[in-house]
Chain A
Amino acid sequence: MYGFHGRLLHIDLTGQKSSWHELEESRLRAFLGGIGLGTSLLYDFAPPGVEPLSPANPLIFTSAPLAGTGLTTTAKFAVVTKSPLTGFIADSLSSSFFALELKRAGLDALVITGRASSPVYVLVNDGKVEIRDGGQLWGKSAKETESLIRAELQEEAVRVAAIGRAGENRVRFATISNEGRHAGRGGVGAVMGSKKLKAIALRGHDAVCVADPVGVAAIADSMRQRSLGTLTAKYREIGTVANLALFNRLGTLPTRNFQQPTFDHAEALSGESLTENNFSRRHGCACCTIRCERLFKSLTGAEQRLEYETLFALGPLCGIEDPESVIRAAQLCDHYGLDTISTGGTLAWAMECADKGLLPEAQDLGLSFGKAGALLKTISAIAERSGLGALLAEGSRRAAIEVGGESAYWAMHVKGLELPGYEPRSLKTMALGLAVNPRGACHNRSGAYEADFSAQVDRFRADPGRGTLVAASEDFGAVLDSLIVCKFLRKCFTDFYAEAADLLSRVTGWSCSDAELRQVGERINTLKKLFNMREGWQPQDDWLPPRLLGETLPTGVAQGVGLTVNELREMIQGYYRAREWDENGFIPEKKLKELGLPAEVQNVQTV
């Protein structure tokens, strides 16, 4: 088999055993790798209704057909599981050398089930599997864990993905990190912690074979050149932090828990100002020519990677105006292994509760919009689940249920996943994308905002036609995330589906068409939905927080713009129509058959 190894490694931590299984070519062709393959395996390995933090919930790492081919931005892997934050699918991507090592380790997927009796880490070394004592690693950060494992194995080239304290303590938005990057959203780190699995260490020498090495090399060379042009200049020259100043000016920078779409102190936090005042160096993932990572210096001289989402969530969303405090907060999140978006979103919820007198513990801590000291203390408390942190470690949705009263109104999440830094009221296509995505409020699985930031639509107005745009964006994203190609390369394709089909054909030896790839994208998203339906999805789960439907925007160029219940309802109907689902969002059997998906889940419709 070209492009894949055709093998899956299953490790059962309860029974301390491992087994290798064949991965059928038909499954690989239907779902590719990355999140597609992960979704397919999750559907099969997860017992229906499984409790996310129970031993039976599978934690699935997948490689992808393009990993290891030398194509720029493809050193990526996926982590898929049932999310402890949403109760639905969690599919997160991370990247760099761990992704290459996963491929070299000779497997396309690693499925971990069970729970060890004491902390362990897993070593997969050229096909040999060891479940090793991780007691000495427990309590360490992911970064420290990487170093300690390398030292223990006396092997510098070993690649490690690990959890920090947040994962150990099953914080529902804990990450899994490798080389400073994170599989960030949905709480995959909490699932790993629930298995008492501190880390996965990989070493391998299994070469990746492609069907047409000369053809793949030529495409790789072309993409490398394209990746260095003006289309990716933003990522190369300033990074994603560039979004902040522009979003502020466009009235789409969520501020103070989505109370307003502009931040008075945006200039100080802008990517442009950070570049001028705090820039330290540029960095990139393995095998990437774009190298979008920007490291910024704090006053202590320590370097910290900042992305827009981190900057927004720990800055304007919490009313924090001082770059130094945001850098420090980001350092803490990385140290503990916390998703910065959900951390910021949950803290912003707590700040609003405190400001409105609903959460005395938060008031006692001094937690309030703009109070950096209390924010930093609370991040540590969340990771350690101490005091108020124990409540906030549950995420804003569960915390609001616990606190009760009006607090649910201030919990800004979809399906339990806190919203990213895109104000839905002034980005109507994105509003729909956030409402319907199977992962919850996600800006990665759907790039619906692209339509809003173009001449294609009026971003302040809603119309049912947005459904087609959102579905197309999700399907496009699913193919990218399953090949896997970094989204920052997406604009460098002239005709994505045709070029991707050609590339995949040269890698695998299959004869793929653009139509086949389009259907793969649809199949993956439909199976995600199917999984969610099996786990209890109901039509009301595709919705937005009430604040977004009850308040118009008070500041900036979008002042006075709102989103009504009817507008959202009509857009959702438009999305279901575009997907050829029924008016309640359930999938007709005909569609399942067309995509080759299991039909038994139809039972859910009658629940």
Chain B
Amino acid sequence: MGRPKALLLFGGEPLVVHIAGVLKRLFHDIVVVAAPEQELPALPVTLVRDEVAYQGPVAGIYYGLRAAKAEIAFVTSCDVPFLNLSLITYLLSQISDYDVVVPYCQGRFQPLHAVYRRSVVPFLAEQLERSELRPIYLYKKVRTREVSEDEIKRLDPDGLSFLNMNTEQEYRDALRCWEELRRGGNAAQDTSAACVVELFSVARLLAKTAKVSLALPQQATLADVLSALAERLPMLVGPVIAPDRRSLTSGNACNINGREFVRDSRIKVNPGDSIFIVSADAGG
């Protein structure tokens, strides 16, 4: 392409910043692996450099896993603008008896959209020593869960998660797709822009349901989620959702993806987010 893909602008921000922001929804520890001299914007991540350049994805995975604090890591490249958190969550859920969970779609393994245990680091080190630079060699040595195309389509029907860019034309196509999604013009993506609201405690008893899916406009905020929820479950207005239908009453709180508790209802909600509505008081 002739210029760093990590710095391509999407919505006015470099792609790597966007990707880190999306992943922050699911992960507390993010490692970015960069080439020795590569320039990057300031990011709230752990930054490591390839010790030897041009060793391909095996080296990237190796250096990243080596720096990761968690036992399990999701690995992605920095040229994929349409990460789908529901799919990533699904991949993570499959790791229990495996060392690697890797999608097989579009006719090949997707090693840079896969989940790895840190225990595979020695295998990767050995591969690098032998110059076995294809990740597929690893999959033969460790317990690997191959995720089928059918499984993937259930969560990402158009396979946008794997759309990367190697030419200027592909970048322009991706930008067009990005704009379409922002305008909400793509019916299929409207579905993936949905979020799931999980209800706990008083909210769940009132609604008599534990979970609802809501279709949301692109760039939706938490206030939009609450508004849509009030529409769907009007019995929550008053005890849980404030009369303005865009905030919670005192005594209730919101958590996104089990990670962040959020106070500000202007916060943006990403496609695939799980929004928990909980009683604010955890005591007892």
Measuring CB to CB, which residues of chain A are less than 8 angstroms from any residue of chain B? 229-235, 237-240, 242-243, 245-246, 249-251, 271-272, 275, 292, 307-309, 443, 447, 449-450, 453-455, 458, 460-461, 487-488, 490-491, 552, 554-562
Contacts and interface: CB of A to CB of B under 8 A. Distances in A.
B279 A234 contact: yes
A455 B280 CA distance: 11
B284 A231 contact: no
B202 A238 contact: yes
Contacts of A554: 71, 96
A491 B255 contact: no
A491 B263 contact: no
Interface string B81-109: 00000000000100010000000000000
Interface in B178-234: 198, 200-202, 204-205, 210
Chain B at the A interface: SS class: loop
Interface of B: 28-29, 69-73, 92, 96, 198, 200-202, 204-205, 210, 239-240, 249-253, 255, 257-263, 276, 278-284
Nearest to A421: B284
B205 A249 contact: no
Contact of B284 (A307, A556, A560): A307
A243 B282 contact: yes
Contacts of B251: 229-234, 491
Nearest to B264: A455
Contacts of B259: 460, 557
Counting chain A CB atoms within 10 Å of each CB, which of B262, B279, B281 scores highest? B281
7 residue pairs, one from A and one from B, having the closest CB atoms: A240-B284, A560-B70, A557-B258, A234-B279, A230-B251, A242-B201, A460-B28
B201 A234 contact: yes
A448 B198 CA distance: 25
A560 B276 contact: no
Contacts of B28: 458, 460-461, 561
A547 to B, nearest CB: 15
Contacts of B249: 230
Counting chain A CB atoms within 10 Å of each CB, which of B72, B255, B258, B282 scores highest? B282
B205 A240 contact: no
A533 to B, nearest CB: 29
A490 B253 CA distance: 17
Given A235-B284, A488-B283, A490-B283, 11 more contacts: A242-B200, A242-B279, A272-B201, A307-B284, A447-B283, A455-B263, A458-B28, A491-B280, A554-B71, A560-B73, A562-B71
Given A237-B202, A238-B201, A272-B205, A556 B258 contact: yes
A240 B202 CA distance: 11
B25 to A, nearest CB: 11
Nearest to B26: A557
Contact of B281 (A234, A245, A552, A558): A234
A14 B267 CA distance: 67
Contacts of B281: 231-232, 234-235, 488, 491
